[in-house]
């Protein structure tokens, strides 16, 4: 197990996704953010099943930076309840994981 995590965050549009990604990397809250093309999200919100095209961020960071990253996303995000989910990285290429730790 490593101290690295991948954080998933969906955004309303490309502009918001790019702004959040840039902010996280610039402030060393994330080593890298991949901005994926639109995904189709189907979810329940306030008792109704909703459908939305969203932009998915794959954010690479460390567990120790996650709380600050989560707080910053919540400040920047337009959603009342943004998706901010951290998944542990159980293993990876050591050279990449070392780079990741050095960037945050």
Strands 4-11 and 85-88, sheet pairing: antiparallel
Rounded to whole angstroms, what are the CA distances from 33 to 19, 25, 43, 50, 53? 11, 7, 24, 26, 19
- Which CATH code is given to the segment(s) 4-103? 3.30.70.120
What pLDDT does 50 receive? 97
For the chain of 104 residues, list the mean pLDDT of each consecutive stretch of 10.
94 98 98 98 96 98 98 97 97 96 97
What pLDDT does 91 receive? 96
Contact status, residue 104 vs residue 32, Cβ threshold 8 Å: no
pTM of the full structure: 0.95
What pLDDT does 1 receive? 75
**Closest Cα to residue 61, out of 25, 88, 92, 30?**
30
């Amino acid at each position: 197990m490593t101290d690295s995590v991948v954080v998933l965050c969906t955004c309303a549009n490309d502009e918001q996704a790019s702004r959040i990604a840039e902010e996280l990397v610039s402030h060393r809250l994330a080593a890298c953010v991949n901005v994926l093309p639109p995904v189709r999200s189907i979810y329940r919100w306030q008792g109704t099943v909703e459908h939305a095209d969203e932009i998915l961020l794959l954010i690479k960071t460390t567990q120790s930076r996650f709380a600050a990253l989560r707080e910053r996303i919540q400040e920047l995000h337009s959603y009342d309840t943004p998706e901010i989910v951290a998944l542990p990285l159980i293993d990876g290429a050591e050279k990449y994981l070392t780079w990741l730790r050095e960037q945050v």
